[in-house]
Amino acid sequence: MTNIKEFTLAILETEDYIITYRDDEETKNKLFEMVLSFLTENEAFNGESIHQNDVANIELANFMTEIADEVMKFNVEYKEYE
């Protein structure tokens, strides 16, 4: 017996891309927990402390990559123009 989780996909369209991503409560909760954990681990709780925290700034690119690839699971399609 296979247990398949259902989730909702949302569509975001920009001038050059069509992006689909997961849009369900599980994804939103995971994202919230990850952000809260990141801020807590880096003791950065407002804009100024985030900007001045060197470790948070160094780790931010990896953090956003993990969100995009592992949580939001963006599927990006480039629009073809003729």
Look at 1-5, 48-52, 53-57 and tell me which has the smallest mean pLDDT: 1-5
Question: Does residue 3 lie in a domain region?
Answer: no
Question: Does residue 64 lie in a domain region?
Answer: yes
Give the number of other CB atoms < 10 A from CB of residue 33.
11
**What does the block give as tokens for 11?**
């569509």
Question: Does residue 46 lie in a domain region?
Answer: yes
| Chain position carrying tokens 């599927």 | 75
Q: What is the pLDDT of residue 8?
A: 82
Its domain, for residue 46, covers: 23-78
**What does the block give as tokens for 33?**
């927990």
What would the mean pLDDT of 19-32 be, rounded to a whole number? 94
Question: Does residue 56 lie in a domain region?
Answer: yes
Question: Does residue 9 lie in a domain region?
Answer: no
In which element (H, E) is residue 19 found? strand 17-22
What's the structural domain count of the chain?
Answer: 1
Query: What span, in angstroms and rounded, lies between the C-alpha atoms of 76 and 17?
Result: 7
